Amino acid sequence: MQRYVMDNNKNTNAQDFLVRDQVIQVLKNRFHTYGYKQVRTQAFESYDMYSNIIGTINKDEMIKVIDSYGKVLVLRPDVTIPLTRTTALNKAISSKNQRLFYVLDVFRQSTEQIDQKESTQAGIECFGENSPEIDSEVIMMATHTLKDLDFNNFKIEIGHAGFFKELLELTNLNNHEIEILQSLIQSKNLAEIEPFLSSLSIEENIKKAIETIPMMYGNPRQVIEQAKSIILNDSMQKILQNLIDVYDILQDCNVDHAVLYNLGLINNMNYYSGIIFQGFVDTIGKPVLMGGRYDRLGEQFGKPTPAIGFAFEVDYLIHALNQEGSTDKQDTFVDVTIIYDKEKQKEALLAAYELRDTGYQVLIDRAEEKLNTVTSTFRVQFSNVQHSILIQNKKQEFKHSAELFSIIRKEDV
């Protein structure tokens, strides 16, 4: 895997960028191994595209601008919606098994984080199929990526958007009452859920089912058994079976140890229709990734398209790695370091040029102490006495650059 390294000076912009760049490269490499191709969307989008879509970003959180023609635009607040629109409207694109990934900045303003209006998201979108196999593979990819980043303790919480929605369909609650109930369930505020429900006109069996939802958290098998007791119709039974099927596959993938079920999980993006999930690591309390299935979003662009995706919050990942000390490395790593005596300057500089020309990362200096904090695979010395290369603490001598290149190529196979 790609390693992320940095020196002791954590405040330099170059070092911050180095860590970010290497984390993003890890994410991109893993997405690529699952067959995803990188895409991008426009930084400025039509305000109408977001405002007309049901269950999208809160309009107050969008950062709006007016172009020279008087048209209202927004800085990209979300990537899923424009990718879904492109897939739905572009007849040249087959929506069957479209696997796309992105690394893009999104822009939102919220009362919770007044000074934070920009964040980097790295995510995937899989269009064209709705099956437990695809759901499981996407969740497995999320766990695979967290392992790549060397997080030892992480959990993926899995829920289902349809379970709670099915219960709401059996009530006559208005939007305001639903928002309050969602907030209470999301915060697992058991003390206030019961009196709130008692104040509403809801059948007793439905009320009991809703009260139970926040407690359905933890071991997937136990949650599944709990959920069986509140099934009220065929749709809820199908949803439960979907959760059972997904967990069976995750067990076969040997990632079930990292999975919890949480039927009280509610995502603020109301376009989710099926499996939803979020990922946590030990060092920070916010989810570092969020995602789910949104099969009905394409309908709003005139083309129903099954789809599932997730996005990592890159800034949260970097913060978590910093908290764990995973980025706290004293050494900079390069492929080759070259130290030379003044009389061998020309030969050393030409060797460095040719190595760089073939793709190696090279640092070169006459002063050995300047390169003592640099870790390299090959440590080369052009000396008046003898030329040598150090590889895994074993020194070999060479007479000229051609022999040096031969040794490096042979060892680098």
Distance (Å, whole) CA 238 – CA 29: 35
Vertex 44 angle, CA 41 and 46, to 5°: 100
271: annotated binding-site residue?
yes
Helix (H) or strand (E) run with residue 44 in it: strand 44-46
String of DSSP letters for 100-132: EEEEEEEE---SS-TT--EEEEEEEEEES---H
d(CA 405, CA 398): 10
Structure tokens at 162: 């349809």
| Residue tagged 């040997």 (tokens) | 254
CA dihedral 111, 113, 118, 119 (to 10 degrees): -130
Alpha-carbon 118 to chain mean position? 16
Q: In the numeric block, which tokens belong to residue 6?
A: 């940095």
Beta-carbon-side half-sphere exposure of residue 330 (alpha carbons within 13 Å): 3
- What is the rounded distance in angstroms from the CA atom of residue 391 to the CA atom of residue 410? 12
HEC states along 217-229? Answer: EECHHHHHHHHHC
User: What dihedral angle (degrees, nearest 10) is formed by the CA atoms of 86, 91, 96, 98?
Assistant: -40
What are residue 98's DSSP bridge partners?
127
79 annotated among ligand-binding-site residues: yes
Radius of gyration of the chain, Cα coordinates, nearest whole angstrom: 27
* β-sheet bridge partners, residue 333: 375
Backbone angles phi, psi at 125, to 5 degrees: -135, 130
Q: Is 272 marked as binding a ligand?
A: yes
42 is in an annotated binding site: no
- Report the SS3 class of residue 133: helix
Report the binding-site residues for L-histidine.
Answer: 78-80, 108, 121, 125, 271-272
Report the binding-site residues.
Answer: 78-80, 108, 121, 125, 271-272
